[in-house]
Amino acid sequence: MGQRHKSLAFLPGKFVFPGGRVSIADRRLKVSSDLNPLTRDCLLTGMRGRPSEGRARALALAALRETFEETGYLVGQRRNNSVPSRSKEWRPFFDEGVAPRLEKLRFVARAITPPDRVRRFDTRFFCVSANEIAHCGHARHDELINQQWLTVEQACDRDIIPITREILNHLKDIFTAGKVLSQPRSVPFYFVKNGVRRKEFIAGNRIT
């Protein structure tokens, strides 16, 4: 996790996971590695607009790209030679001699920012084993400071927002159950409806 600069307009000073928006480049990038089928199906369930495998893949690719840009960590597979890319956003990733790898990435939660917030996001949270980190390069953005590897307990002691605490506690349950390397069949979905905070579950191709 890392701490957002106190000068930022959104969540100043809060500790957060690395992440960001899906870009056009994420939607267009062709990769040889694909999502676990159960991960893909859970990402497609309840997707706004027109659901597609390409959009589900783009969510995962955005997570990997933003993690690299904000922390320098590259989740993927080492290549003997640089992989050419015409994408300005993805070229630095490939120039490190790593190709993104999606099949080990696990979708663990979804959360939509409450409607009374100035900025709103429809966020997906992913986790992956640290064994899938192929290389650590240099962060391209300085958005996050005080970056640290933390236990769940240590992270909960930091200055975090409520939804981050929810995700951390959910991850703790996954770790305790010893299922961190498998796609959960039930993914929590947090949102607010009619002023009431809701928690439902994405399971396969339905939300309950």
Please report the pLDDT score of residue 82 as a whole number. 60
User: For residue 23, which amino acid is it?
Assistant: S
pLDDT 10s digits, 44-102: 999 999 999 999 999 999 999 999 999 999 999 998 766 667 789 999 999 999 999 99
**CA dihedral angle for residue 71, residue 75, residue 81, residue 82, rounded to 10 degrees:** -50
Please report the pLDDT score of residue 85 as a whole number. 72
H-helix or E-strand spanning residue 127: strand 122-127
Indicate the CATH number of 2-207 among 3.40.50.1370, 3.40.50.150, 3.90.79.10, 3.40.50.720: 3.90.79.10
Q: How many CB atoms lie within 10 A of CB 124?
A: 22
pLDDT 10s digits, 145-182: 999 999 999 999 999 999 999 999 999 998 888 776 78
Domains of the chain, residue spans: 2-207
User: For residue 64, which amino acid is it?
Assistant: L
pLDDT 10s digits, 115-140: 877 778 999 999 999 999 999 988 88
Query: Among 56, 36, 7, which residue's Cα sits nearest to residue 132?
Result: 36
Please report the pLDDT score of residue 84 as a whole number. 61
Per-residue pLDDT, averaged over 20-40, amounts to 93
